[in-house]
Amino acid sequence: MHKLFKAVSPLTLALGLLMACGVAHADKYAVQIQVNPTLVKVGANAPCEIWATGNPDNDFTVTLSNPDGRLNLSPTTITVPKGGTHKQFSIYGQTVSGTANDAVINAMRDLGGGQTQNEGSATATVYQLKILQDGADITDVTSPQAVNVGQLANLSVSVVPSTLTLSNYQWSILGNVVRDWTHDASGSFVWPIGNSQLTSSSLSFAWLDGGSSRQVSLTAQVNGVTASAKSTFSVTKPNYGLSLAPGAPVQILLNDPQSGLCLKCGDNNGVKYVDPTTGLGIPGITMTMTGVPNSDQAQCQFWQIVTGSTRQIHGVPSTAYPSGWRHVVYQYVNSAGNTVTTPAGDAYTLDTNDPYGKGRYTGTVTGNTYTYPDKTMDSPAQPMSQTDDQINVSDSFAHWLMYIPPGTEHTQSIWVPMSTATWSYSGAATKKGTTWATNDLTSSTNPQSATGNSTTSYPGGLGWTKNINGVTFIDGQN
């Protein structure tokens, strides 16, 4: 009878890596098996070695077996050299372990007469590193996960068996992605994916651009051994666009219901220009969604940035405006307590509302409010007084169509840019008599038709910091 025993390095047992060694019986046919490392990824191969540790007279044959069925062994029959030369074989992780070191490799020698003897054993752990989306395993999916731009992918990582230790995470994402977009009328910010997110155990992001094979990959240390996992997404970006159409011209209005005496681009209140179909006033410009089905119109909105604004008015000199001229600027108090003056409009100035809004027409048609779920409009105006005698206005804008997939904003989805277009107008007028007249307009440039361009850039770039409602007039022409 042979007495069986197994000697395993205490360091190997403590760390669960480097090697699992089985030293067999105190006889001349004893063998040692080395698995390096002892962690075997499911669906992957790992190299192993076997060699004689006893003092056999001749080379001998052993049959490798895995009674728990977690491993495939290749080859299964090995001739072990008597001199201790190492022979190579490989193991393949077939079934994930339930606990650490529960995959057993035995080297069985045929004794004849239907009897065998285990000449050495070793153990390994078959593990799986998983990428989870909202708790569901999406690792190495056969079909890409279907998502829309703006739909948040909430990813995390886990390992089986769960007793293994995870560390040193590193994510990699193919495509143009952001964490979030926060916004209100006073400011907005695009939250990028940074190193602190890419080295965390969980990650949340949304794509801004479409693509059929967007891979997300992860590397991590599993009990100190580098492991990897990946998943693939198919990202759809709807082909939603934007068109701009001019309406009523730049003009002097003497009694606009909103702005009174003013220089105005458009006539949304129908003082002079009325749409015969709707009975509504005609705005200076109309923005319309294109390619957006009725079912998605509620998921789309407009935003507008005032990229430039020059407004100069001359009137009677006063204490506030001793030169007689006043012009519009944006002023704020900085952290040092100083008042800073900047242009009234720039790439970081929101036009009034967040979002800009839809269907901004006034009036009724056959007694019912006329709404436009796929449109918005603008009719910018600069009020004046009868004591003013000269006005110069020049405004420019960038307009956005944005889309958000269904779901709770910031936890399931975010707004993403679809299309953007620019427009502008200008007008100048000089009072010829004692009161203003509509023919006092001396020059004007009306808005032009435009078609939006597909974009992944947000209004205001990384974020607007000002609102056009915060502008003020100061003395001087410039």
Answer yes or no: are the C-beta atoms of 287 and 402 closer than 8 Å: no
Is residue 54 included in any domain, yes or no? Answer: yes
> What range defines the domain where residue 26 resides?
10-127
One domain for residues 329 and 362: yes
Is residue 284 included in any domain, yes or no? Answer: yes
One domain for residues 370 and 355: yes
One domain for residues 168 and 269: no
**What share of the chain in percent tops pLDDT 70?**
92
One domain for residues 208 and 292: no
**Quick one: pLDDT at residue 274?**
87
**What share of the chain in percent tops pLDDT 90?**
85
- Between 89-103, 135-149, 264-278, the lowest mean confidence (pLDDT) is in 264-278
Give the separation between CA 458 and CA 460, rounded to whole angstroms: 6
- Residue 360's pLDDT band, with cuts at 50, 70 and 90, is low
One domain for residues 176 and 321: no
Reported as type and span, the H/E element at residue 323 is none
Number of domains forming the structure of the chain: 3
Is residue 4 included in any domain, yes or no? Answer: no
Is residue 95 included in any domain, yes or no? Answer: yes
Answer yes or no: are the C-beta atoms of 246 and 421 closer than 8 Å: no
Give the separation between CA 375 and CA 463, rounded to whole angstroms: 24
Is the pLDDT score of 405 beyond 90? yes
One domain for residues 250 and 291: yes
CATH number for the domain including 142?
2.60.40
In a 3-state reduction of DSSP, which class is residue 63?
strand
Higher pLDDT, 7 or 237: 237
Is residue 171 included in any domain, yes or no? Answer: yes
- Chain segment 268-290, per-residue pLDDT in tens: 888 999 888 777 889 999 999 99
- Chain segment 225-282, per-residue pLDDT in tens: 999 999 999 999 999 999 999 999 999 999 999 999 999 999 988 899 988 877 788 9
**Quick one: pLDDT at residue 115?**
94
Is residue 2 included in any domain, yes or no? Answer: no
One domain for residues 113 and 147: no
Answer yes or no: are the C-beta atoms of 156 and 202 closer than 8 Å: yes
**Quick one: pLDDT at residue 477?**
94
- Chain segment 408-454, per-residue pLDDT in tens: 999 999 999 999 999 999 999 999 999 999 999 999 999 999 999 99
Is the pLDDT score of 188 beyond 90? yes
In a 3-state reduction of DSSP, which class is residue 227?
strand
**Quick one: pLDDT at residue 397?**
98
Closest among 54, 371, 123, 427 to 249, alpha carbons compared:
427
One domain for residues 103 and 167: no
- Chain segment 335-351, per-residue pLDDT in tens: 999 999 999 999 999 99
Give the separation between CA 20 and CA 7, rounded to whole angstroms: 10
Higher pLDDT, 237 or 27: 237
Last residue within a domain, chosen from 236, 265, 291:
236
- Residue 8's pLDDT band, with cuts at 50, 70 and 90, is very low
CATH number for the domain including 115?
2.60.40.10
Is residue 102 included in any domain, yes or no? Answer: yes
Region 308-323 average pLDDT: 97
One domain for residues 432 and 370: yes
- Chain segment 42-82, per-residue pLDDT in tens: 999 999 999 999 889 999 999 999 999 999 999 999 999 99
Question: What is the DSSP secondary structure assignment for residue 409, as one 8-state letter?
Answer: B
Tokens for 83, please give them. 């001199």
Closest among 227, 224, 43 to 129, alpha carbons compared:
227
Is residue 5 included in any domain, yes or no? Answer: no
Last residue within a domain, chosen from 180, 201, 236:
236
**Quick one: pLDDT at residue 40?**
96
**Quick one: pLDDT at residue 269?**
87
Give the separation between CA 285 and CA 266, rounded to whole angstroms: 7
Cis peptide bond N-terminal to 249, omega within 30: no
One domain for residues 276 and 161: no
Letter for the amino acid at 226?
T
Region 288-310 average pLDDT: 96
**Quick one: pLDDT at residue 106?**
97
One domain for residues 419 and 369: yes
Last residue within a domain, chosen from 236, 262, 289:
236
